[in-house]
Amino acid sequence: MIYLDNSATTSPKPQQVLDASARALRASANPGRSGHRMSVEAGERIYSARKTAADLFGMEDETRVIFTPGCTFSLNTAIKGIFSKGGHAVVSNLEHNAVMRPLEALRSEGVTYTAAAVYPGDDDATLDSFRRSINVNTKAIICTHASNVWGIRLPVERICALAHAYGLYMMIDAAQSAGVLPLDMKDGYDIVCAAGHKGLYGPMGTGLMLLSEKADIPPLITGGTGSGSASLIQPQELPDRFESGTLNLPGIAGLEAGISFVSAKGKENILRHEMSLVRRAYKGLSANKKVRLYTPEPDESFFAPVLSFNIEGVDSETAAAQLARRGIAVRAGLHCCPAAHRALGTLDTGAVRISPSAFTAARDIDRVIQTVRELKF
Amino acid sequence: MEKVYFVVSSVTYAMKGRRILASGGIKSEIGKRGRRADDKSCRYTIAVSSGNAEAAERMLRANSVRILERKDGGTT
């Protein structure tokens, strides 16, 4: 199987990820709960992973790295925390349902939002669009770093400066970008939410919420933290405020190994490799008259390595099923992101998405191009 | 050897403390042993030899490891 569904989850995982998770499963006690050797060692594994993640994202204080069950959990925590007392959010018109559904759920509590249009290749226009969407009730700008459908990359550094000029929180959904695109907390982001199992190559069921010193929000869930147990009040110290319940040690150990894999390869090298593959796919597919592409040829300044297309007159799920029968794994449909499909006019058809990883080879892309050419409907 | 115990709020700060002390050449041990009957609050301790206690305390405080309590005494 040629696996090009890495935006959903990267596969295969590096061997060291499998090894780290297996080691943790074989000999794990509950981290941060007991004083015996196994529990202390488990605590050390978690702390080490926290430090490794902090280093990757340019954070000096590793206690501000929060482990979560996934990016969706991180986004829910952050959004429901920021808007616990109402307010208005500015989002992009490319947001995933992990951002849009929490905001919709908060409508009944008076939370409103405005979706700012993104102009691929024109960061000035995108920035103006965000600026015009801010009103007196706006508390935060929440935006994806890169569209999970089109790969369109948002100018988050400039949007962050805009947010801070207006005294707003700047929050990034880095589900598709963590481990691939440059992302440094020193650039001033207040909250960054990331998936552990995509570009960071960790196991599913892992996620991160990275908090700046300014980010002061309540937790989504409360419970046992292994600290301050005599009190019924949730500890306010980080990371315990947000980490109730037993942590996913096998997952987090694997995530640390995944982050180490990314660091060893170099994010820049991974990005360069994946972008070259996506450009190769774009060129090959654009030579096929049956194929419809929706964006300009992906350039690293404006795109992440994700590419979606359709075959004229063919439903995207049908096309994906045909590719699957020929040994090519892609994702079709709406990708949990109707907003991005609405923005580029594919809400009715969906699209076929291909997304490479560090393990994808040029010959895999050539096979996709060839197979799409051979498909008959 | 006589030890000094620094009580911290959670395992995260115990680990952080241990790494900070190690970077300064001070050996420490992490434990979880309340030394009073009413000390049941899931707190961790960083133990150092009494000879290193002053330097250790300074290093921990300088690196934002909040020390909830210092307990002098006790031998291994």
Query: Looking at residue A232, what is its pLDDT?
Result: 94
B33 contact A CB<8A: yes
Q: Is the pLDDT of residue B35 over 60?
A: no
Phi then psi for residue A283, to 5 deg, are: -65, -45
A33 contact B CB<8A: yes
* B66 contacts on A by Cβ (under 8 Å): 237
Angle of CA points B24, B28, B30, to nearest 5°:
135
* B19 contacts on A by Cβ (under 8 Å): 47, 51
CATH for B2-75 is 3.30.70.260
- List of domains in chain A: 15-264 (3.40.640.10), 266-374 (3.90.1150.10)
Query: Looking at residue B43, what is its pLDDT?
Result: 85
* B7 contacts on A by Cβ (under 8 Å): none
* A233 contacts on B by Cβ (under 8 Å): none
pLDDT digits (tens, 9 = 90+) for B43-72: 899 999 999 999 999 999 999 999 999 998
> Across the interface, do B11 and A225 touch by the CB < 8 Å criterion?
no
Give, for all 377 residues of chain A, the pLDDT tens digit. Answer: 999 999 999 999 999 999 999 999 998 899 988 989 999 999 999 999 999 999 999 999 999 999 999 999 999 999 999 999 999 999 999 999 999 999 999 999 999 999 999 999 999 999 999 999 999 999 999 999 999 999 999 999 999 999 999 999 999 999 999 999 999 999 999 999 999 999 999 999 999 999 999 999 999 999 999 988 889 999 999 999 999 999 999 999 999 999 999 999 999 999 999 999 999 999 999 999 999 999 999 999 999 999 999 999 999 999 999 999 999 999 999 999 999 999 999 999 999 999 999 999 999 999 999 999 999 88
Select the residue from A40, A232, A243 to test the B interface by mutation, using most B Cβ atoms within 10 A. A40
A249 contact B CB<8A: no
Could you say which of B10, B16, B19 has the minimum Cβ distance to residue A32? Answer: B10
* Domain definitions of chain B by residue range: 2-75
Closest chain A residue to the Cα of B12, Cα to Cα: A47
* B33 contacts on A by Cβ (under 8 Å): 35
Closest chain A residue to the Cα of B68, Cα to Cα: A228
Closest chain A residue to the Cα of B31, Cα to Cα: A35
> Across the interface, do A225 and B10 touch by the CB < 8 Å criterion?
yes
- Per-residue HEC secondary structure of chain A comes to CEECECCCCCCCCCHHHHHHHHHHHHCCCCCCCCCCHHHHHHHHHHHHHHHHHHHHCCCCCHHHEEEECCHHHHHHHHHHHHCCCCEEEEEECCCCHHHHHHHHHCHHHCEEEEEECCCCCCHHHHHHHHHHHCCCCEEEEEEECECCCCCEECCHHHHHHHHHHCCCEEEEECCCCCCCCCCCHHHCCCEEEEECCCCCCCCCCCEEEEECCCCCCCCCCCCCCCCCCCCCCCCCCCCHHHCCCCCCHHHHHHHHHHHHHHHHHCHHHHHHHHHHHHHHHHHHHHCCCCEEECCCCCCCCCECCCEEEEECCCCHHHHHHHHHHCCEECECCCCCCHHHHHHCCCCCCCCEEEECCCCCCHHHHHHHHHHHHHCCC
Phi then psi for residue A249, to 5 deg, are: -60, -45
> Across the interface, do A230 and B40 touch by the CB < 8 Å criterion?
yes
Closest chain B residue to the Cα of A230, Cα to Cα: B41
Q: How far apart are CA B50 and CA B6, in angstroms?
A: 11
* A240 contacts on B by Cβ (under 8 Å): 9-10, 12
Closest chain A residue to the Cα of B10, Cα to Cα: A227
Q: Is B47 helix (H, G, I), strand (E, B) or coil?
A: strand
Mean pLDDT of chain B: 88
Q: Is the pLDDT of residue B75 over 60?
A: no
Alpha-carbon gap: A145 to the closest alpha carbon of chain B (Å): 30
B44 contact A CB<8A: yes
Confidence of residue B38 (pLDDT cuts 50, 70, 90): low
Closest chain B residue to the Cα of A32, Cα to Cα: B11
Query: Looking at residue B1, what is its pLDDT?
Result: 74
B16 contact A CB<8A: yes
